[in-house]
Amino acid sequence: MLKWSIPVVALLGAALFLAPASSAVERAVPVPVPALDVKPSKGEQVAVLAGGCFWGMEAVFQSVKGVHSVTTGYAGGTAKTATYAQVSTERTGHAEAVRVVYDPRKVSYGTLLRIYFSVAHDPTQLNRQYPDTGPSYRSAIFPQDDEQRGVAAAYIAQLTKAKAFPKPIVTKLETGAFYPAEAYHQDFFWRNPTHPYIVRYDKPKVAAFRNAYPMLVN
């Protein structure tokens, strides 16, 4: 989301949120099934993904069958903690991200990556997503173990070889702790359905997911 005060958003909302958005927000990009995936296991698993404003990312993955919970927050960076005020300075190195807790017997890590690349964000935008600019809005995957890292790297290579996108994929594999965001950022999509940013940029993502992956909708 744009890091402005509420009064500024109110004044500029009409001009900003009615401006054309990239078609990647409004419909799924057809991407192949990952050739390599994490082996199914018992118990919950975690995926941490960054791709622009975490409001929309959270809503998309909350809609996925087999996902138990999604938390918005901040990943990467050098600080030992992270808050919205700190990350907004673009000096901490953190990215807005989501922590997805899922049942690998119902949805695989590779499937989550497929959704991530096809509807949750545009992996070709460097240090930005649509109206939001800065490194905190970068496209990044934070593998939780070596197997996830291998699957993510292989899938990026697969998508690149398949020329799934008209521009190069800029998604990076990173490391770093995850810090939950403030309470008012959690479930923001569902609690603020008429918010201009949600209506313009995030509702189309959720709709794209539901249309492209009906069998995965919870």
Domains of the chain, residue spans: 44-213
Looking at the chain, the whole-number percentage of residues with pLDDT higher than 70 is: 88
Domain 44-213 has CATH 3.30.1060.10: yes
Q: What is the pLDDT of residue 2?
A: 55
What's the rounded Cα separation, in Å, for the pair 218 and 215?
A: 8
pLDDT digits (tens, 9 = 90+) for 109-160: 999 999 999 999 999 999 999 999 999 999 999 999 999 999 999 999 999 9
Based on the residue annotation, tell me whether 53 is a catalytic residue of this protein: yes
Q: Is 42 left (phi over 0), alpha (psi -120 to 50) or beta?
A: beta
Are the C-beta atoms of residues 65 and 106 closer than 8 Å to each other? yes
What's the rounded Cα separation, in Å, for the pair 201 and 93?
A: 24
Residue 79 confidence class, pLDDT cut points 50, 70, 90: confident
- Select the more confidently predicted residue: 35 or 1: 35
- Average pLDDT for 198-214: 95
Q: What mean pLDDT value characterizes the chain?
A: 89
Q: Which residues lie across from 132 on neighbouring strands? A: 129
Dihedral (C-alpha) 182, 186, 188, 190: value to the nearest 10 degrees?
Answer: -160
Catalytic-labelled residue, pool 24, 29, 53, 206: 53
- Average pLDDT for 23-29: 67
pLDDT digits (tens, 9 = 90+) for 173-182: 999 999 999 9
Are the C-beta atoms of residues 100 and 47 closer than 8 Å to each other? yes
Distances (CA, A) of 111 to 2, 61, 160, 172, 196: 29, 11, 17, 18, 30
pLDDT-wise least confident of 77-81, 84-88, 133-137, 155-159: 77-81
